Structure 1
Amino acid sequence: MSRMQDDEAVIDEWIKGGKDAFVFYREPGESVCHGIRAARSSLQSFEGIPPLDGKTGFVFAPFRFGEGHPLWLLPLEEEIEAGISRAACPDEVEAPAPMPFCGRLEEQPSKEYREAFRFFSAALRAGDFQKLVLSRACTDAFPRGFSWARAFGAACRRYVHSYVYLFHTPQTGFWLGATPEILLAGGKGDYRTVALAGTQFLKEGKLAGPWSEKNIREQAFVTEYIGGCLRERDIRFTVEGPYTATAGELAHLKTDIRFRLSSAEALGGLLQALHPTPAVCGLPKEEAFRFILSHEGYDRGYYAGFLGRWEPEGKTALYVNLRCMQCGEGAEKIRLYAGGGILPASVCEEEWMETERKLQTMKYVISKGGTDVFG
């Protein structure tokens, strides 16, 4: 592995270097970012998780397999470490000053969101589901002089405790995100996952009030589901939480779940059981998954999928693809994603505003990617 000094310079070089596939990522709290680049000809794609058995690389997987959204695997052909520019170092901890809203918050739900919410709410009130996750997408324009490298650096600066990444292939275009949620991480038999759900918007860095019963129940569903997956496989585990965890200007309820696996071969089966978790899907899981595909009204693509380093015999670190945005090859606008858990008592306007606030994560990054505002 070679070492280079400036993350933005390396990213710009790789973008200009042609049509290779690459990823840059920064683990939570780290002061360096990691880059992986692979020739287009060596990029692999699979229609599911089982083909990952016996393979290593960087994984980029969709919410739903098929429909033009395979799992991509970048082999570890070329790896580098790059120092994050001073403005993006973790010693400038996630800023305590409030993040300015990047554009006006839309307080009224769109017609499409209201219609989807009506379907979701009716199914929940009928008792068909314990929880559903309703998400949406919106588009935003590139600011003048936008740079993916600059946007990545801004995300590293602002979201120190999140997993920040910039992923590109000729097939997927660019994806950039800052996700707070581990899906599966560890090595040498010791692994962990998290149950992350429930959302509050921070006011001056503090919770606006105690956690509501809705948020507590929503997060407990995720914890119970993950525990059930582990028990079914006779995997003993420990639980710590729930506790409040912050991600930028948002707070979530989080439970850490740690366990041991006697064989690396069991990792793929567990990953398949966990994805998608109720945190991005709902309960009962399979029925909720099908309901979302039928009634959400759009294709999530790789939003709410997972990504990260996959090395069953070494270190694996996979994250749920939240707080993210994408831009296809040659596209003129950026597509952003956000969602939230819906329970029978949920109110449409409140859930809409939660997604509006979550969208601010990437809108801030977009604004900092332009030449007029970097600093």
Structure 2
Amino acid sequence: MLLYERYRLAGHFFSSQFSELITKLEQLRNVPICDPIVQLSVEAPALPLISWLSAQTLYPKIYWHGRDRNEDVAAIGSCKTFYFADQVDDNALAQIYQQQRNKTNHQDIRYYGGLAFDRTVECWPEFGRAHFILPRIELRRSGNHVRVLVNLNFENGEPEDEIQSALNAIAMVQKPRPLSPPNKLNLMGRSDLPNFARWKELVEQVTQANFIKSTPKVVLSRHSQIDVDDNIDPWTVLACWQGRNPNSFQFGFQFSPERAFISCSPERLYLRRQQELFTEALAGTTVRGLNPEEDNVLAQALLDDIKNSHENQLVRKHIVDVLTPLSQYVGADEQPKIFKLNHIQHLHRAIRAQLKPGVSDFELLRALHPTPAVGGLPRDAALNFIRQREGYARGWYAGACGYLNHHESEFSVAIRSALIEPRRINLFAGAGIVAGSDPEAEWQELENKLATVLSILIDF
């Protein structure tokens, strides 16, 4: 009861719910535990989950909000972790996860995490080339209801130790605090890698006739390091970003106080429900108009543009080709539609598939990631060019972030993203380079893609 008293004095919004979970945890001490992973759950009223997450002091901290679903998730702590700091063995990772899935297929267990863009090169500290976590505590909101979940891992060690770890995590939970829009920061410095001169050289190399014959598309990207005069709360930034681009995936991973990766990405890698798969070709970009009439003119010009249409068609064809061996059926939109965001609009084609029995999430990740929308075509040739010439390691930018579950898994492509460090925000943006690409126009496209998040942080 001491733990509950400590919790109750904090005046937390969910005091009765956590009291109920503490009672359930205490009851586990008196019953035989047969399942290796146990999940406890109680219902609670809704609250803004990002404000709750921002107040927490237990790491890791995870947030996930799907693009077109009325659900978001905030999670803290770790019950079980799959972490690959160095070379990722896809087969080993798939085997480990399959073993876990076989043990927990009757529960709503989710592993949240991500894969780096390029799993053959060094990644950021704490993130690794692949990192998935079964959180200790999850809050899942659907509509006006929240489920508070506590996960326990009884695979190794004494059950009493695991129960006590869960109780200790509950004791650390803090009450939510309101989030205000972040104060505008003073820009202390900015550096771009590659800089414009190098960018121009790279675009010219990629658009040479001999290169285009073998590698028709390379997605070049830029890392912009923005130094400011104060620290940045990643969850405040993500909440503002979410408000400006609601038609996006919003997610964040913070494995320690020093570093957080957040993204407001329009792009789905895939959504799998049982054996049904939903994915898309999202490539080809223009700006939004200043009024509805101009916006429609720009959208129609994008639909009519040969270069952008060709780029989108390349992505569509590649995805259909790699899904065909894994699927009983694959269907894709013949003509692109317009997908609108706050500052830009994209060409979009929906793709659907019925997977063959037994196809796993890791087979899908291996087939689809990275897509031509963030790497290029052919994939291996484009990735090799990026690896050798781009000048920096992308880390989780343009990686695959989401969650794994027995019945349903969903991943987003981590574009429109930021790595936040003390007094620094690292921003990333890319552009697909094909025949006819202009270096200056593509450089401006990078600026357009950063406009929303920069406007949140800095007065220009």
Please state which band the TM-score falls in when normalised by the shorter chain: 0.7 to 0.9
* Cα RMSD (Å): 2.9
Q: Against the structure 1 CA distance between its residues 123 and 300, is the aligned structure 2 distance closer, same or farther, given a 3 Å change threshold?
A: farther
Q: 2:324 matched to which residue of 1? A: 231
Answer yes or no: is 1:315 the counterpart of 2:353: no
| 1:70 maps to which of 118, 129, 133 | 129
Structure 2 residue ranges without an equivalent (≥5): 1-40, 101-109, 144-185
Q: Percent identity, please.
A: 23
CA distance in 2, matches of 1:316, 1:134: 29
Q: Deviation per CA, 1:116-154, whole angstroms, max 9, x where unpaired?
A: 223323376552211111100102234657432321211
Are the counterparts in 2 of residues 188 and 314 from structure 1 also a CA contact under 8 Å? yes
Which amino acid letter does the alignment assign opposite residue 25 of structure 1?
Answer: W
| 1:196 maps to which of 253, 278, 282 | 282
Q: Deviation per CA, 1:247-282, whole angstroms, max 9, x where unpaired?
A: 222111111111112435433212201111111111
| 2:267 maps to which of 169, 175, 181 | 181
Q: How does 1:285-296 map to 2 (within 5 A)?
A: 285-296=379-390
Are the counterparts in 1 of residues 232 and 420 from structure 2 also a CA contact under 8 Å? no
Q: How does 1:275-314 map to 2 (within 5 A)?
A: 275-311=369-405, 313-314=406-407
Q: 2:82 matched to which residue of 1? A: 44
CA distance in 1, matches of 2:344, 2:310: 18
CA distance in 2, matches of 1:124, 1:288: 14
Are the counterparts in 2 of residues 29 and 160 from structure 1 also a CA contact under 8 Å? no
Structure 1 residue ranges without an equivalent (≥5): 85-101
| 1:149 maps to which of 212, 219, 235 | 235
Q: Deviation per CA, 1:80-121, whole angstroms, max 9, x where unpaired?
A: 03599xxxxxxxxxxxxxxxxx99xx9xx6223223223323
Q: How does 1:1-375 map to 2 (within 5 A)?
A: 1=41, 3=44, 5-14=47-56, 17-18=57-58, 20-30=59-69, 33-39=72-78, 42-46=80-84, 47-50=88-91, 51-52=93-94, 53-54=97-98, 55=100, 56-66=110-120, 67-68=122-123, 69-81=128-140, 110-122=196-208, 125=211, 127-142=213-228, 146-170=232-256, 173-204=259-290, 206-207=295-296, 208=298, 209-211=300-302, 212-240=305-333, 241-311=335-405, 313-328=406-421, 331-367=422-458
CA distance in 1, matches of 2:323, 2:68: 28
Which amino acid letter does the alignment assign opposite residue 278 of structure 1?
Answer: P
Structure 1 stretch 164-173 or stretch 224-233: which is displaced more? 164-173
Are the counterparts in 2 of residues 123 and 129 from structure 1 also a CA contact under 8 Å? no
Are the counterparts in 2 of residues 119 and 295 from structure 1 also a CA contact under 8 Å? no
Q: 1:98 matched to which residue of 2? A: none
SS of match in other structure, 1:59: strand
Are the counterparts in 1 of residues 113 and 402 from structure 2 also a CA contact under 8 Å? yes
CA distance in 2, matches of 1:176, 1:124: 38
Q: Against the structure 1 CA distance between its residues 354 and 242, is the aligned structure 2 distance closer, same or farther, given a 3 Å change threshold?
A: same
Structure 1 stretch 171-180 or stretch 243-252: which is displaced more? 171-180
Which structure shows the bigger proportion of residues in helix conformation?
2
Aligned length: 343
Q: 1:97 matched to which residue of 2? A: none
TM-score, with normalisation over the residues of structure 1? 0.83
Task: Return the offset for 1:37.
Answer: 2.0
SS of match in other structure, 1:340: strand
CA distance in 1, matches of 2:68, 2:443: 31
Task: Return the offset for 1:60.
Answer: 1.4
Q: Against the structure 1 CA distance between its residues 265 and 231, is the aligned structure 2 distance closer, same or farther, given a 3 Å change threshold?
A: closer
Which amino acid letter does the alignment assign opposite residue 49 of structure 2?
Answer: D
CA distance in 2, matches of 1:38, 1:61: 19
